[in-house]
Each structure stands twice: as structure tokens, then as C-alpha cells.
């Protein structure tokens, strides 16, 4: 009897430790990726996203060990499962250009499903309030650190780029390196302050100071999206009169208004401080601008509608969007601005329709509508209010950009979805329960080679010494070629090779293979010009001319036109005997 009791107590203690580890890892998942200062091509978000993936899987592994009785499957799990199935069908049907595109999408969707399930399970096990307190505390720490970095950028402090992303222009970027995303993350920090104050984890004075700091930093981003988020959150708080006590509701509205006021007043507060090369930009001023962001999005949406019109039923295929944007831009109205090669439409509904077809957009919207219908029956307590506010921030952002295509934002979104799901179902944890943690741990191990390979690719392509020798260049190219052949990041190594290669007649066949692959993944004007010339060198002159004409029609910016001309001129000089007169050189 005593031995049985001791075993039970030991098991309970072990589960408690695993639970604490899981919550700690979740906290790191919603903080560390947003503080990463390194953003290098060809995947600027790689390091931050890699950390989100690894920390999420480790947190899920610890969560499984902490909750060995049952798993909770939220009803919203249907959504990632649906998209995962469609990506598999597109892959099997040959609609996806390269296997890496399919594998990356499948991996992201599977990871999202893991995070949603883990969140629902932990919420059931320890309560939504405790889960959200941990998440909110971590987000607050990350937001305050991001605000400090934004202030340092505004003050033009000399800090190593390995610790702080270099400031560019009059809008603060933080280490996130994207002003709109920084603005949204800072709003999550403000929401975390309000929730922690309601949970008695933060004093009124501390809450006041934190909101002042975070609101001011949000204003330094110059983000109109941040302004839209602030207005939406204030309106949502006004409609939430039934939530909590009257004092809590008044506090929530008052502090959201304070944050909004600081956002609007940030520029005057910092007007006399040292400048960083450009005058600080405020969100209010940018509302009157017609040449930044707003018009560009309308142009993106126009060409995305062209893609949808070409592939209305089953979509253009996951990962193919950048190349489809080149094709669509070439058909844009004469004189219209274009954005060929854009990786996203900057609107989640249009993107889903373009990649997967209108029927899938309608089906996913129906699943979401049913989920929201059942959610309205849930009790709107403080934790539910916090969760809904977080979803509002990312929803508004997703209508104008694509934060959910990155694992750092997707992780927070999935954590909230799983925790507030209104119709979760419990399933018995299988007797062979070590299999699931082992599978998640295997996922972590599978990510390790990608991290090492990307570090090698980054070193070879972005960290070039001031005076590289011929031997150094050869070593770097050999490194990139090895990654292209042997790594899961091979397609991205092809981008580097496509950027470096110089068309040469005796190597034209191999070079054309490299170039065509790079072109589809990253449709750069100069790379496309090289691909067109290589088609000419390999006896496909008509195809080369067709590709070149499309590029010239799509890339209407004078600098891109010049890049195309320069690439063709260099190729012609490299191959003087290749019947260059047959091929147009501009």
C-alpha cells in the first residue's frame, strides 16, 4: 500500500515538473522568435521560425508527458486537417512545382495541429486561466524587450547587429524587422498587461507604466495597421460590457484608450531626439499617404484575382504563388504598377482562394463560422476576453498581410484557438503513450540538420569578407552546391546559385536546370533574364524570347528593367559566339 502510494506521488510530482517545463517552453516560443535580430536572404525569417518550431515541439513533448491520461482534440482541428489533406492531393496530382513546397506546407500544418491540440489539452488539465497567465507573462516580457529595442533604434544607439536589427528609415522595426508585425506584437503585450492586471499578477501602477511604454513604442512603428488594431480593440471592449465587473471593464477601456493616445502622440514625444536618417513617421500621417502600403495592396489584390480567375476550382498549388504573380503581372493593365514575384497576396482569404481554390475557401469559411457560432455560447470571462482580443489582432493583420504564414505568429494564434475552443473532445491516451512524445522528439531532431544547413548557406552567401579571394569564392559556391544537392533546403540554395551563375554555353544545360528552379522559387528579374538567355544557349530560343517578353511586361519598374538589360548584356559578352543577334539584348 505504502509503495503504491509513493509511486503515485512520484508520478504526480513528475507530471507537475513536466507541466512546468511545458509552460516554460511555451513562454519561450512566444518570446524568443520575436527577439531574433538576424534576417538574411534567402529566408529572412528562418532563425525565428526555426526557434518557434523547435520550442513548440519540445513544449508539446513535455505537455504529453505531463498529461498522460487523455488528449483533448479541439473542433477547430478540422481546419488544419482540411488544408493538410488538400496539400497532399495537390502534391499527388502534380500541381506543386517542387516536393519541398509540399513538405514545408505539410510540416507547418502538422505543427499547427500539434500546438492547437496541446493547448486544448493543457487548458483542460490546468485551466485556461493558468495557461493564459503563463503565455501573457511571456508575451509581456517579449513585448517590453521589443519596445526597448525600438527605443534604442530611435535613439540611434550603436549596438551590434548580432543583438539588434539595424534601423532603416523613420519607422522602428525592433528585432522583428517588420514594423507592422512589431506593432501587432506590442498590442499583444498591451493585452497581456490588461489580462495580468485582472488576474492580480500586475499592479495598477505597473500596468499604467507598461501601457505607456508599449503604446509609445507602438507609435514609433508608424503602422496604420497598429492604429486599426487599437481602434478595433477599443470598440470590442465597449461591446464587452457583460464581461467581468464594471470596474474591470472601465479599466480595460481606459487603458486601451491610453495606449491608443500614446500611439498617436509618439512622434511629438520623440521629435527632439537624435534622428536615424529619416524623420519619424506616425500612423496618423501615413493615413493620408497614397503611395505606401495601401495602393500596393490593391495592386497585389488585383493580380491575385487574376490568379484566382485562372485557377478557380482547385487553386494554383501550394508554393507556386510567387511565379503565378509574375504571370499575372505581365497581364496587368497598361501603365499599372505591378509586384511580380510577391510571395503573398496580403489577404488571407484571397491567398487561400489563389492557392487552394474558391470551394476550399468557402468550406474553410463555413468551418470557421460554425466554430464562431458555438463560441458565442461560451462564458465570456477574462481569459476568453483575452483570447478573443489576441485573435482580433491577428485577424486584422491577416486581412492586410500574412502573419499566419510564419510560425512565430501562428504559434500564438494556435495556442489561443485550442484553449478557447468551445467543442473539444477528449480521447483516451493510448497505452503505448511513449510513441507520441518520441514522434515529436523525432521532429525536433529532423529540424537540427536544417538549422546547420541554413547556417552554412547564410555563411556562404551573406557573410562575405571585404576582399574575397578566388579560392574563397570557389569554396562558397561548392558549399551552396552541396546544400542544393543534399539538403532539405536545397531549393533555397538554388536561389543563391541562380543569383551567382554567369550563363556559359558549355555549361548551359546544367546552368539552365539550376536557373529554372531558382526562378520559380524566387522570381528575381535578373535571374529570369539569365534563364531566358540559357534557354537560347540550349537551343530553345523561342521559349527564351517568350520568357523574356513576359518578364519585361511584368517588371515595369525602371530599376528592374535595367537589371534585365544588364543581365542580358553580361551574358552576351560571356558568349560572343552564341548567335546573340538572334536573341534580343536590351
Q: State the residue for C-alpha cell 485550442.
A: 418
Nearest to 453 by CA among 493, 510, 425: 493
Residue among 345, 396, 386, 395 at smallest CA distance from 368: 395
Tracing cell 507547418 back to the chain, one arrives at 108
Helix ranges restricted to H, 291-434? 294-310, 321-330, 348-356, 358-375, 382-400, 407-420
pLDDT at residue 44, as a whole number: 93
Q: How many other CB atoms sit within 10 Å of the CB of residue 6?
A: 10
What local confidence, expressed as pLDDT, does residue 275 receive? 54
The residues with which 73 forms a beta bridge, in sequence order, are 425
Q: Do 443 and 88 touch, CB atoms closer than 8 A?
A: no
Distances (CA, A) of 508 to 476, 502, 505: 21, 10, 5
Report CA-CA distances (Å) from 322 to 202, 389, 524, 536: 46, 32, 10, 24
Non-local CB neighbours of 411 within 8 Å, separated by 6+ positions: 29, 30, 33, 52, 56, 115
User: What percent helix, strand, coil does the chain show, rounded to 5?
Assistant: 70, 0, 25
Q: Over the stretch 427-469, which tens digit does the pLDDT of each residue have?
A: 887 655 678 888 899 999 999 999 999 999 999 888 777 677 7
The tens digit of pLDDT for each residue in 521-544 reads 899 999 999 999 999 999 999 999
Q: Domains in the chain, please, with CATH?
A: 2-289+378-428 (no CATH), 302-377 (no CATH), 451-582 (1.25.40)
Strands 425-428 and 70-73 turn out to be antiparallel
Task: Tell me the DSSP string of 568-579.
Answer: HHHHHHH-TTS-
Helices and strands (DSSP H and E) totals, the chain: 24, 2
Tens place of pLDDT for every residue, the chain, 586 residues? 443 444 344 457 888 899 999 999 999 999 999 999 999 988 999 999 999 999 999 999 999 888 667 889 999 999 999 999 999 999 999 999 888 889 999 999 999 999 999 999 999 999 999 999 999 999 999 999 999 998 898 888 888 888 999 877 777 889 999 999 999 999 999 999 999 999 999 999 999 999 999 999 998 888 889 999 999 999 999 887 655 555 667 888 999 999 999 888 876 766 665 555 556 666 666 666 544 444 689 999 999 999 999 999 999 999 999 999 999 999 999 999 999 999 999 999 999 999 999 999 999 999 999 999 999 888 888 899 999 999 999 999 999 999 999 999 999 999 999 999 999 888 887 655 678 888 899 999 999 999 999 999 999 888 777 677 788 888 888 999 999 999 989 889 999 899 888 899 999 999 999 999 999 989 999 999 999 999 999 999 999 999 999 999 999 999 999 999 999 999 999 888 776 555 665 5
pLDDT of residue 545: 94
240 CB burial (10 A radius; 0-12, 13-18, 19+): middle
The CA distance from 234 to 164, in Å, is 32
Give the pLDDT score at 220: 86
- Taking Cα atoms as reference points, which of 341, 310, 330, 305 lies closest to residue 95? 310
The predicted pLDDT at position 245 comes to 53
Closest CA to 212 of 233, 186, 247: 186
Cα(494)–Cα(530) distance, integer angstroms: 14
Give pLDDT, residue 207. 96
Amino acid at each position: 500500500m505504502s509503495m503504491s502510494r509513493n509511486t503515485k506521488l512520484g508520478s504526480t510530482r513528475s507530471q507537475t515538473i513536466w507541466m512546468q517545463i511545458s509552460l516554460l517552453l511555451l513562454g519561450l516560443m512566444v518570446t524568443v522568435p520575436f527577439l531574433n535580430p538576424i534576417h538574411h536572404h534567402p529566408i529572412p525569417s528562418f532563425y525565428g521560425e526555426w526557434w518557434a518550431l523547435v520550442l513548440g515541439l519540445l513544449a508539446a513533448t513535455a505537455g504529453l508527458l505531463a498529461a498522460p491520461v487523455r488528449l483533448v482534440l479541439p473542433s477547430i482541428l478540422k481546419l488544419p486537417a482540411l488544408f493538410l489533406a488538400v496539400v497532399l492531393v495537390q502534391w499527388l496530382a502534380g500541381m506543386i512545382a517542387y516536393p519541398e513546397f509540399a513538405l514545408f506546407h505539410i510540416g507547418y500544418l502538422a505543427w499547427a495541429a500539434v500546438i492547437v491540440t496541446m493547448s486544448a489539452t493543457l487548458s483542460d488539465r490546468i485551466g485556461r486561466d493558468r495557461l493564459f497567465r503563463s503565455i501573457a507573462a511571456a508575451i509581456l516580457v517579449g513585448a517590453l524587450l521589443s519596445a526597448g529595442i525600438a527605443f534604442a533604434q530611435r535613439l540611434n544607439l550603436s549596438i551590434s547587429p548580432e543583438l539588434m536589427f539595424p534601423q532603416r528609415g523613420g519607422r522602428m522595426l525592433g528585432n522583428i524587422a517588420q514594423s507592422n508585425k512589431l506593432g501587432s506584437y506590442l498590442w499583444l503585450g498591451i493585452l497581456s498587461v490588461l489580462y495580468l492586471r485582472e488576474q492580480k499578477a500586475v499592479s495598477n501602477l505597473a500596468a499604467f507604466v507598461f501601457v505607456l511604454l508599449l503604446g509609445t513604442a507602438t507609435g514609433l512603428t508608424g503602422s496604420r495597421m497598429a492604429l486599426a488594431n487599437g481602434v478595433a480593440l477599443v470598440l470590442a471592449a465597449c461591446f464587452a460590457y457583460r464581461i467581468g465587473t464594471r470596474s474591470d471593464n472601465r479599466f480595460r477601456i481606459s487603458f486601451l484608450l491610453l495606449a491608443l493616445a500614446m500611439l498617436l502622440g509618439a512622434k511629438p514625444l520623440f521629435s527632439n531626439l537624435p534622428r536615424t536618417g529619416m524623420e519619424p513617421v506616425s500612423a496618423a500621417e501615413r493615413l493620408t499617404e497614397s503611395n505606401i502600403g495601401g495602393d500596393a495592396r490593391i495592386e497585389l489584390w488585383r493580380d491575385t484575382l487574376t490568379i484566382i480567375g485562372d485557377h478557380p476550382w482547385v487553386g494554383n498549388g501550394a508554393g507556386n504563388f510567387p511565379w503565378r504573380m509574375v504571370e499575372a503581372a505581365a497581364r496587368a493593365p497598361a501603365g499599372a504598377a505591378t509586384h511580380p514575384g510577391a510571395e503573398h497576396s496580403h489577404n488571407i482569404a484571397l491567398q487561400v482562394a489563389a492557392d487552394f481554390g474558391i470551394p476550399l475557401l468557402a468550406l474553410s469559411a463555413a468551418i470557421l463560422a460554425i466554430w464562431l457560432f458555438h463560441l458565442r455560447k461560451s462564458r465570456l470571462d477574462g481569459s476568453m476576453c483575452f483570447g478573443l482580443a489576441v485573435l482580433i489582432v491577428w485577424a486584422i493583420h491577416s486581412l492586410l498581410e500574412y502573419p499566419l504564414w510564419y510560425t512565430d505568429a501562428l504559434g500564438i494564434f494556435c495556442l489561443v484557438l485550442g484553449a478557447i475552443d468551445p467543442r473539444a473532445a477528449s480521447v483516451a491516451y493510448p497505452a503505448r503513450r511513449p510513441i507520441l512524445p518520441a514522434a515529436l522528439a523525432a521532429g525536433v531532431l529532423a529540424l537540427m540538420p536544417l538549422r546547420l544547413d541554413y547556417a552554412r548557406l547564410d555563411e556562404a552567401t551573406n557573410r562575405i569578407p571585404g576582399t574575397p579571394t578566388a579560392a574563397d569564392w570557389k569554396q562558397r559556391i561548392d558549399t551552396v552546391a552541396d546544400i542544393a544537392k543534399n539538403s532539405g533546403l536545397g531549393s533555397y540554395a538554388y536561389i543563391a546559385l541562380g543569383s551567382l551563375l554567369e550563363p556559359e554555353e558549355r555549361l548551359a544545360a546544367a546552368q539552365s536546370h539550376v536557373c529554372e528552379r531558382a526562378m520559380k522559387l524566387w522570381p528575381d528579374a535578373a535571374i529570369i533574364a539569365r534563364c531566358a538567355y540559357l534557354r537560347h544557349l540550349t537551343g530553345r530560343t523561342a521559349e527564351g524570347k517568350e520568357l523574356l517578353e513576359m518578364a519585361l511586361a511584368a517588371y515595369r519598374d525602371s530599376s528592374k528593367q535595367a537589371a534585365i538589360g544588364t543581365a542580358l548584356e553580361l551574358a552576351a559578352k560571356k558568349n560572343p559566339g552564341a548567335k546573340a543577334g538572334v536573341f534580343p539584348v536590351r
